[in-house]
Structure 1
Amino acid sequence: MAERAAHTTTSVQTKPSIFELIAQESLAETVYPAFKRIVQFLVSRNPELWGWLGNWCDESYLVLNSFIQYYYMKNRSASFAETFYGLERVSVLKDDLHKLNSRQKFWSLMWLTIFPYLMTKFEQLAEKYRYEEAYESETLFALPKSYKVGVIKCNSTLNFLFGTANLAQYLLYMTGRSHYHKILFRLIKVSLVYYDDEDQLSLRDLWSCAWRGRTKIPDFSSQLVLKTLSAGFEAGAFFLQCLNWYNLQSVERKQQILPLPKPPPQISRGLRPDLCPICQNRRRIPTALATSGEVFCFKCIKPVLDNDKKCPVTGLPSTVNDLIRIYHH
């Protein structure tokens, strides 16, 4: 009874707040966009050397993420982001907390690496089919429309179910009715608690042990490298958080300082309003360009934006992301 009471007391005292859990998830979500920006910068600087990295960006991140998460899962029983916020994963068995077993570590690693990669690929595929269906785009190998619609609906359904299940787990966790804050943690019976670092040596302690001859040189070298890499990763995570905060502040500051731009001058082209400014025929798949308000045929405006990156009428900088499909009732 006393042992069970001790476990229960520990689980209550070491239970992190929902805000800390959301914060570590936000940190985990910033790593992939930061990696993509670094890849884009390298490709823009030297396409011949780094072009392959741009083509295999998702796969390269999968390898890097797997290495980092494996190291932290093996040594800290936590992900990289969880370690940064002083958390660790524990096994929940009959309301008692224990160390993770090998099966739980394996599935934790899968959820941290393979699962996000597959979800990203499926999301990209669904977005591609959604784009093709919306703009009636033609591809070299045309797939049945029912297949594309099925992929789109399946992706939307999975996102809805996954989001709803996580929301329910958040509510159960906040009300103290569950140890798990996300559905994936419930599936593998894993919870997050504050990390007890009494048994962990810091870099200073490691040097002290080496100086006194309490550790062997090979062990000291390997631990020193791992500790240095770990400290570098955590410092990089802190830098990412600061950089995101600075970017948000600079965007808000620019929006407050810059005056409202004057509307562009009216351009008289002598065309009927239902004609495309590029092909000068009746618009097919009418698509508006948000930056200028002009309406074109989709097949006319897309190659222009891909090549020139600006509106062909007003000259305003524009991309394909600024296109808006117009539906007639």
Structure 2
Amino acid sequence: MLFQVGGQGTRPTFFEMAAAQQLPASLRAALTYSIGVLALRRPFLHKVLDYEDEFFALLMLILETHSLRTTDASFSESLYGLRRRAVNIKVKRDDAHASSGGEIHHSGLQKRQRVLSVVVLVVLPYFKSKLHSIYNKEREARLQASLWGDGDERFDDVDIIDTEESSLISRGSSDADASVRTRLAKRIQKIVGACYPWLHASSEGLSFAYQLLYLLDATGFYSLGLHALGIHVCRATGQELMDTSSRISKIRSRERERLRGPPWLKAVQGVLLSCTYTVLDYAQTGLIAAVFFFKMMEWWYQSAEERMSAPTVYPPPPPPPPPQVAKEGIPLPPDRTLCPLCSQKRGNPSVVTVSGFVFCYACIFKYVSQYKRCPVTLMPATVDQIRRLFHDM
């Protein structure tokens, strides 16, 4: 896969470098979410989430080592068609003017630079993640102590029974060792809680400064780690991309030639190497496809749940049939605007809620007060069931 974001020449754009740097964090978040979804039905996967930092560091160690060994680029940089090159500065002297100048030449990575690149890409982020978790625990402990007080002080005044004293004496040595380890761990947490914010702020400040300088084309190093290792990240040329496959095949052929032992052992080792090579070859495509698949499934199930949980909108029910006119009741006039009681144009129209027929307010009030019923349907009614209308039909 190759994703290049504009730009000319061998120098990557700022957006390419930013995308390559943020890809591992995005990949970790997607994998954590995917494993969390699977853990809902497979509880044993919760162990993977408990050791999330270790499992992800091991995965990135394998991917980064393989990528740097075969393509001279990190896992995310190779995905964007980038390559790492060692920086060699050669000084030129002009004999006529005795002036000196510098010219930058790029060469392949040395073994030491590959190893240090793995340290910067995998080991340092792992320790940073562990320090961040320790800092969060220390901050939560401080917040809890400020709200509820120190938990150790709650049991200072509790009386201890004689039988418990004898058992505590027998376990005194182990408890002392445990208390020493606990005090040491608490001290380390306090030190990390005090120093980590400054270290984190310094690291983020340096990272921002290098990115700003790279954006302004004031430096060729995107990060402090690349500057310390003396490495420039460049775009891979078409010939380099074509030579990568031949380089990988040469490395693998040499590894197969190094196999030692009886024929059956060589066959087993060859099968294991083939399986390993297949997994590594499709690691990039497989991980990106897996993340895309799980995000698509998340969107699909979320949309389905929203459709199922959405309230169903039903059409309004048909109006009830009009009440029947009683045989002994007052007949309705042919003109709907006339009052059935006085046969005149309705004044201050009012409705009887038990039947829905409209009359003059004075007429219907007098009739209901006297007979306690609707004059048309003869249904029982009271004056409280008379409602004034502000618009006459």
Closer, same or farther: CA 197–147 of 1 in aligned 2, 3 Å: closer
What is the match of residue 91 of structure 1? Answer: 86
What is the match of residue 118 of structure 1? Answer: 127
Match of 1:108 among 109, 112, 117: 117
CA distance in 2, matches of 1:199, 1:20: 22
Residue deviations 1:250-272 (CA, integer Å, cap 9, x gap): 99xx99xx99xxxxxxxxxxxxx
CA distance in 1, matches of 2:133, 2:284: 28
Closer, same or farther: CA 224–123 of 1 in aligned 2, 3 Å: closer
Match of 1:54 among 31, 49, 52: 49
2:16 is the counterpart of 1:20: yes
Closer, same or farther: CA 76–223 of 1 in aligned 2, 3 Å: farther
What is the match of residue 243 of structure 2? Answer: 199
CA distance in 2, matches of 1:60, 1:224: 20
Match of 1:167 among 196, 208, 212: 208
**RMSD, matched Cα:** 3.9
2:25 is the counterpart of 1:29: yes
Partner SS state of residue 28, structure 1: helix
Within 5 Å, give how 1:270-281 maps onto structure 2.
none
Unaligned runs of 5+ in 1: 1-11, 207-217, 260-329
For residue 127 of structure 1, what is the amino acid of its counterpart?
N
Residue deviations 1:125-168 (CA, integer Å, cap 9, x gap): 00110111122165784679886554223111111111111111
For residue 90 of structure 1, what is the amino acid of its counterpart?
R
Residue deviations 1:68-112 (CA, integer Å, cap 9, x gap): 111111111111111111111111121221111111100100111
Partner SS state of residue 220, structure 2: coil
Within 5 Å, give how 1:137-152 maps onto structure 2.
141=182, 148-152=189-193
Within 5 Å, give how 1:1-329 maps onto structure 2.
13-47=9-43, 49-94=44-89, 95-136=104-145, 141=182, 148-195=189-236, 196-201=240-245, 226=277, 229-237=280-288, 240=291
Closer, same or farther: CA 241–16 of 1 in aligned 2, 3 Å: farther
TM-score, normalized by length of structure 2? Answer: 0.50
Residue deviations 1:231-287 (CA, integer Å, cap 9, x gap): 342242255368669979999xx99xx99xxxxxxxxxxxxxxxxxxxxxxxxxxxx
CA distance in 2, matches of 1:249, 1:13: 41
- Contact between 2:34 and 2:294, CA under 8 Å: does it hold in 1? no
For residue 110 of structure 2, what is the amino acid of its counterpart?
N
For residue 192 of structure 1, what is the amino acid of its counterpart?
V
CA distance in 2, matches of 1:230, 1:157: 41
Closer, same or farther: CA 61–113 of 1 in aligned 2, 3 Å: same
Closer, same or farther: CA 163–242 of 1 in aligned 2, 3 Å: farther
Partner SS state of residue 199, structure 1: helix
Shift of residue 52 of structure 1? 3.4
Greater shift, 30-39 or 121-130, is seen at 30-39
CA distance in 2, matches of 1:13, 1:35: 35
- Contact between 1:39 and 1:57, CA under 8 Å: does it hold in 2? no
For residue 282 of structure 2, what is the amino acid of its counterpart?
A
Closer, same or farther: CA 54–241 of 1 in aligned 2, 3 Å: closer
Partner SS state of residue 176, structure 1: coil
Length, aligned pairs only: 233
CA distance in 2, matches of 1:112, 1:87: 15
Residue deviations 1:180-210 (CA, integer Å, cap 9, x gap): 00111111111211123121339xxx8xxxx
What is the match of residue 4 of structure 1? Answer: none
CA distance in 2, matches of 1:87, 1:104: 16
Closer, same or farther: CA 58–228 of 1 in aligned 2, 3 Å: closer
Partner SS state of residue 282, structure 2: helix
Partner SS state of residue 85, structure 2: strand
Closer, same or farther: CA 159–242 of 1 in aligned 2, 3 Å: farther
CA distance in 2, matches of 1:164, 1:147: 25
Q: Which protein is bigger by CA-based radius of gyration?
A: 2
Shift of residue 24 of structure 1? 1.4
TM-score, normalized by length of structure 1? Answer: 0.59
Shift of residue 228 of structure 1? 5.8
Closer, same or farther: CA 22–244 of 1 in aligned 2, 3 Å: farther
- Contact between 2:12 and 2:233, CA under 8 Å: does it hold in 1? yes
Structure 1 segments of 4+ aligned residues over 3 angstroms from their partners: 41-44, 49-52, 137-150, 220-225, 241-251
- Contact between 2:66 and 2:280, CA under 8 Å: does it hold in 1? no
CA distance in 1, matches of 2:223, 2:112: 18
